[in-house]
Every structure is written in C-alpha cells, then in structure tokens.
Amino acid sequence: MSFVDLLYRWRINESKERIERKQDNEIYVTDLIYCPLKYRYQKMYKELSIVASVSPTTIMGELIHIGMEKLASDLLKGKNIMSEVEVERKINIDGKEYVIKGRADLIVDNNIIEIKSSRSDTNIPHEHHILQLRIYLWLTGCKRGLLLYITSNRIAEYEIIEPLSDGEISDLVRSITSGEPAPRYQWECSYCSYALICPKKRT
Ligand code: SF4
C-alpha cells in the first residue's frame, strides 16, 4: 500500500469526475471568481486542470478542509450542521438559462462557512474570497457568511453578510462568456495551470 498513490488517485479521480459531469450551461462558483479564460481552457485542455489537482498545496488545502469539517461536526453536535453541501440556483441572462453551482464547506444553522488555508496571512481577507462567499450567500439564502482562514501564522475569521445581487451575478456570467477581463487579478497568471499556452498571460 502507498499513501502517495492513494492521494494521487483520489485527487485525479475527483478532478476528472468534476470536469466530466459539468454541463454546458453550468458555471461553478470558482469559475466566477477567477480569470474567465480558465473556464474556457478547462473545457479545451482538461488534462492541465487535472494535473493541477495533485499539487501538494492543493492536497494540503483539501486535508485541512476535511479536518476542519470533521472537527466542526464533532464540536457542534446539536446544531443543524452540514458539510460539503452541493448548492445550485438557476438564472436567466440575456435569454439563456444558466445554472450556478457550488459546494459549500459548512452550513451551520443559517451561517455559511468557507474555509481557506494558506502559508501566509498577508492581505487577508482576499477580494476573491469575499466575492466567493457573497456568491454563496446569493446561492443559499443564508443570512451570514464566515470566512475562516487557517494560515501558518494566523487563524482569523471575517463576517460577510451582503449577498451578490442578480445583476452582479449576471455581470460575472457575462464576463465568462466574453472572456474578459483576462486575467481578473494581476497575480493570477503566476499560479495558473494554463499559463503555458495562454496568449493573455501577464506575469
Ligand atoms: S495565464 Fe492569466 S490570462 Fe491566461 S488563463 Fe491564466 S490567469 Fe487567465
């Protein structure tokens, strides 16, 4: 038995399944918060996104999620607690129906919790994480969101209560269909799996 092999198979299979079951009118929450070209490239160059899923940083993040979700379930017995909750909501934009889909880390009563892990605590909470949680508030109708950061030098949480509006969601979807702005954030290209084939790569 090899644990490296177990981790590798787990990540590869999960990533493959997630990409293969995605319908043409489905947009994941993560598609909305990053560079819109990634949505396009994920369909064209599936293998590149699958390879990215086995990076040690990604695996460490997944393990922290699993641990935190299990701990919360143990410590918050008696509360209405759900982890890895699949959520979706339909929206009609310019005559076409889209399904916005996501998987919330934790929902406890009327609170939605997003767990973030990183080495550094510089500049937390990050703009794209706030955006992500605001999309989840729109998707779920939860009244309160918590961004929980677990970093090497700080554990901190931030309350977010304002959901995105239908208009803001529509603008994000339009940005996916137009492929602009690419990248959405200046720092993105340095961490992007598609940088090696992308004409819009900046850094
Ligand atoms: S390299 Fe930059 S512009 Fe190209 S897909 Fe990645 S993030 Fe977007």
Tell me the per-residue pLDDT of 54-97, one tens digit each, with 9 for 90 and over: 999 999 999 999 999 999 999 998 899 999 999 999 999 999 99
| 4 within domain boundaries | no
The DSSP-derived string for 84-153 is EEEEEEEEEETTEEEEEEEEEEEEETTEEEEEEEES--TTPSPHHHHHHHHHHHHHH--SEEEEEEEESS
The band of 121, judged by pLDDT with boundaries at 50, 70 and 90, is very high
6 found inside a domain: no
Report yes or no on 2 lying in a domain.
Answer: no
Residue-number span of the structural domain to which 121 is assigned: 24-197
C-beta 192 within 6 A of ligand 1 = yes
Domain tally, the chain = 1
Within a domain: 107: yes
Assigned domain for 94 exists = yes
Q: Looking at ligand 1, which atom is closest to the CA of residue 194?
A: 6
pLDDT tens digits along 125-180:
999 999 999 999 999 999 999 999 999 999 999 999 999 999 999 999 999 999 99
pLDDT of residue 35: 98
pLDDT at site 77 = 87
pLDDT of residue 143: 95
pLDDT at 11: 95
* Ligand 1 near 195 CB (within 6 A): yes
Ligand 1 centre and the CA of 188: distance in Å? 7
- What pLDDT, on the 0 to 100 scale, is given for residue 72? 94
Distance spanning both ends of the chain, measured CA to CA = 41
Q: What's the mean pLDDT when you consider all of the chain?
A: 95
Residue 120 lies in a domain: yes
Q: Is 1 within the bounds of a domain?
A: no
pLDDT at 203 over 90: no
Taking only the tens place, the pLDDT of each residue in 42-53 is 999 999 999 989
According to DSSP, the β-strands at 144-151 and 111-118 are parallel
* CATH label of the domain that carries residue 107: 3.90.320.10
Evaluate whether residue 3 is within a structural domain: no
Q: How far is the CA of 150 from the centre of ligand 1 (A)?
A: 27
For the stretch 32-41, pLDDT in tens is: 999 999 999 9
Q: Tell me, what DSSP letter sits at residue 188?
A: G
**How many Å apart are CA 23 and CA 46, to the nearest integer?**
14
